[in-house]
Structure 1
Amino acid sequence: MKTKISLIGLSLILFSCVSTEYVTEDKKADDTEIYVFDDVSNIDTTKIIKKENLPENFGTKEKAKEEVKAEINYKYTVQVGAFTTKERAEIFINQNQNKTSFPLQIFYNQSTKLYSVQIPPYSTKEEADKIRDVLKNFPPFQEAFTIQIEN
Structure 2
Amino acid sequence: MKKQYLFILIPLIIAGCSSTSETQKENVNNESEFYLFDDVENIDSVEAALPVKSEDKKDSVNQNRVENKQHELDDADKKNDKFIIQLGAFSSKERAEIFIRENQDKISYLMTIVRKQQNNLYVVQIPPFQNRADAESVRNTLWKIIAFKDAFIVTE
What TM-score bracket applies, with the shorter chain setting the length?
Answer: 0.5 to 0.7
Q: Normalized per residue, which structure has more helix?
A: 2
Per the alignment, residue 105 of structure 1 pairs with 112
Q: TM-score, normalised by structure 1?
A: 0.57
Match of 1:125 in 2: 132
What residue number does 1:35 align with? 35
1:83 and 2:90 aligned: yes
Q: Distance in 1 between matches of 2:36 and 2:103?
A: 15
Residue 141 (structure 1) aligned to one of 122, 137, 148: 148
Residue-by-residue CA offset, 1:114-133 (whole Å, 9 max, x unaligned): 11000000000111111110
Q: Distance in 2 between matches of 1:90 and 1:70?
A: 31
The CA deviation at 1:112 is 1.7
CA gap 1:97/1:71 in 2 versus in 1, 3 angstroms: closer
SS state of the match for residue 82, structure 2? strand
**TM-score, normalisation: structure 2:** 0.55
TM-superposed CA distance for 1:139, in Å, is: 0.7
- Structure 2 alignment gaps of length 5 or more: 1-22, 44-75
Spell out, residue by residue over 1:125-148, the C-alpha distance to the aligned partner (whole angstroms, 9 max, x if none). Answer: 111111110111011100000110
Identity between Structure 1 and Structure 2 (%): 39
- Judge conservation of contact 1:38–1:114 (CA < 8 Å) in 2: yes
Task: Give the 4+ runs in structure 1 shifted more than 2 A.
Answer: 26-35, 69-73
Alpha carbon RMSD of aligned pairs, Å? 2.8
Change (3 A) 1:81 1:70: closer
Q: For residues 79 and 126 of structure 1, what CA distance do their matches in structure 2 show?
A: 16
CA contact (8 A) 1:34 1:88 kept: no
